[in-house]
A and B are shown apart, each in its own frame.
Chain A
Amino acid sequence: MNAQRTPKKKTPKAERDHVLHLLKNMIRIRRLEEACAELYSAMKIRGFLHLYDGQEAVAVGVMEALTAEDAVVATYREHGHALIRGISAGSILAEMFGKQEGCSRGRGGSMHLFDAKTRFYGGNAIVGGGLPIAVGLALADQMQQRPRVTGCFFGEGAVAEGEFHESMNLASLWKLPVLFVCENNLYAMGTALKLSESVTDLVRKASSYDVAAASVDGMDVLAVEAAAQKAAAAVRSGKGPHFLECRTYRFRAHSMFDPELYRDKAEVEDWKKRCPIEAFSKTLKTEGLLTDKDRQKIEGEAAKEIKEAVAFAEACTWEPVEDLTRFVTSERRSE
């Protein structure tokens, strides 16, 4: 999590530190997701697992624009958002293992990472389910006069749900401080955007609610960061909600059960050429901001972080069965 906003002008050293920090965050997510895939195959993680490979620039870029006071609402593809928001890889993995040291006490799993401390109000298994909640957080901020932003991430699939439309209208009507971040990766499970939207231009769609809207290359972390900074600043200054479409692509299958009948291998390969990590590394190298040694250092640190996180999760414990019915409501008498 990044508490301070990007200063207007940076020294060359600060500039270099900043871009390396962005690169490192994307690499941390990628390595975390790789570990998840492996642990899934090893049956340490069960259920459904939705990985973020290819979309890292979105979470990393947008989080730069949010402060510790702001709130984040995400989806079931939220491991990366949680990590960058400041939830430790260890407690994320422990959660996926179903262990009680996990950030949701081992009760939420991969799709329901929560952490009140970092104002991470959840992964959410229900497509579109987070949008009205984000609007409610923002409404409370407005009512209690706190200059905060609620960053609300969702996939383009959610745009077809009724909750999207209610949320856009409400946020716009009452000028609520929500930054809607739509991660348009072109597919909702097996359904291509053009098969699910009458208007595939999502900016036009958001604009129809009189929400300020923009589209950005979601494979370019600097572009995402700049767009998010601009949008968040406007939201924070009381101008009402913003909608940011990040055009991106998921490299892996929808979840661990997906025959991928709906897209060509060639299309996936084309997008992989625009990998947010490799493309950014290349640019940085060309500009002399990244050396092979820097990359090695970043990789080493990320590998260490994830390795320690896996070891931590392994060593964690399962909740006693007798405790399962705790926290259902504030007070519960036993049967």
Chain B
Amino acid sequence: MAKLNMVQALNLALRQEMEKDDSVIVLGEDVGVDGGVFRVTDGLIDRFGEGRVVDTPLAESGIAGMSIGMAIYGLRPVAEIQFSGFAYHCFHQIESHAARLRLRTQGAVTVPMVLRAPYGGGVRALEHHSESREAYWAHMPGVKMVIPSGPRNARALMVSAIRDPDPVIFYEAKALYRAFREEVPDEEETLPIGESQIVREGTDLTMIAYGAMIRPVLEAADELEKKKGVQTEVIDLLTVSPLDDRLFTESVKKTGRAVIVHEAPRSFGPGAEIVSRLVEKSFYHLEAPIARVTGFDMVIPLFAREKAYIPSAGRIFRAAVQALETEP
């Protein structure tokens, strides 16, 4: 057991899976000699060689497409895109091919690949380097969209993603890469893809979030308890798609009030689907309008105004108070 940050935890997952399974291949721009822009693949080339840790030219469409071909032939490619804002080049290959081959061939051809990319703001970078566009992938039938919220679940989900029989888009919050450390066991640990978790129990209000937003959500929940004596239940989705709605719809049946938080733009964002599920499954238990605290419908602004865009604990707190003060 060691205390690792998220970069180290992901590195551990890749290293152990590569040890265990020769078919796991890491590829991408500067993942080898340089060890990746954020150093997630650091040292892998020394341990596994150029045959399994492949530095590619600048060719994101090729990286995605080649991963599909390799996966069809039984390899387990884990491709890195340096920033999720460069993954739009991959979109065609994933949407047109990776996501459809199982369906098209009735399961005869499958694509067990992982596309990793750092996403989200909070590191004061600029557009294409800070965005949160997970909804594109979540909207795509045939791929799974996973977003961990800390070192330990990042490691466990990465192992599961590599072993998953379907294409997995794996977004890693840059803001969390080195934000904090957690105990991460040496021995194998996995987490089921497609299952959310209750990370804080409560009876008065439900907050639903994932990725980098879990931290401000927990902070707001603590404030609510301290200042208002409110018990907030927090659900970490961990997988955005397929969306596990069991925990949060049950939770809202109990609390009657929900706040959804994501840094992705508001309109047609993941929150919209979560609201729909709540309306479908928890409607008669709702005691207040469902609140969404999200990014704005725009490209994430530059560093000076980034704070205004990304949901903060304060904004979440205020939305929660409003939801709590609404009389049914």
Contact = CB atoms under 8 A, between A and B. Distances in A.
Given A126-B86, A325-B298, A328-B298, A108 B126 contact: yes
Contacts of B296: 324-325
Given A111-B126, A321-B308, A195 B57 contact: yes
A161 B37 CA distance: 19
Contacts of A332: 297
A240 interface: no
B144 to A, nearest CB: 26
17 contacts: A47-B124, A48-B125, A48-B129, A107-B302, A109-B302, A109-B303, A126-B85, A158-B58, A188-B57, A189-B29, A189-B30, A191-B29, A191-B57, A195-B55, A261-B33, A328-B298, A335-B266
Interface string B2-16: 000000000000000
A191 B55 contact: yes
A98 B304 contact: yes
Interface of B: 29-30, 33-34, 37, 55-62, 85-86, 89, 124-129, 266, 296-299, 301-305, 308-309
Contacts of A106: 302, 304-305
A3 interface: no
Interface in A273-296: none
Nearest to A49: B126
Contact of B127 (A112, A128, A321, A335): A112
Contact of B303 (A46, A196, A261): A46
Contacts of B302: 46-47, 98, 106-109
Interface of A: 46-48, 97-99, 106-112, 125-128, 157-158, 160-162, 188-191, 195-197, 257, 259, 261-262, 318-319, 321, 324-325, 328, 332, 335
Contacts of A48: 125-126, 129
B33 A190 contact: yes
Given A107-B302, A189-B29, A324-B301, A46 B58 contact: no
Nearest to B83: A125
A125 B34 contact: no
B305 A98 contact: yes
Contacts of B34: 189-190, 259, 261-262
A204 to B, nearest CB: 17
Contacts of A110: 126
Contact of A318 (B55, B128, B304): B304
Contacts of B86: 126-127
B79 to A, nearest CB: 16
Contact of B124 (A46, A108, A112, A189): A46
Contacts of B37: 257
Contacts of A319: 305
Nearest to B124: A46
A317 to B, nearest CB: 10
B57 A324 contact: no
B311 to A, nearest CB: 14
Contacts of A109: 126-127, 302-303
B30 A324 contact: no
A264 B231 CA distance: 58
A200 to B, nearest CB: 12
Contacts of B308: 321, 324
Nearest to B39: A259
A188 B58 contact: yes
Nearest to B36: A190
A97 B304 contact: yes
A321 B305 contact: yes
Contacts of B30: 189-191
Given A47-B125, A190-B34, A324 B298 contact: yes
A116 B309 CA distance: 27
B59 A160 contact: yes
Contacts of A195: 55, 57
Nearest to A318: B304
Nearest to A162: B61
A128 B89 CA distance: 11
Given A126-B85, A127-B58, 19 more contacts: A46-B125, A47-B124, A47-B303, A48-B125, A98-B303, A107-B301, A109-B302, A125-B128, A126-B86, A127-B86, A188-B58, A189-B30, A190-B30, A191-B30, A191-B55, A324-B296, A325-B296, A325-B298, A328-B297
B178 to A, nearest CB: 12
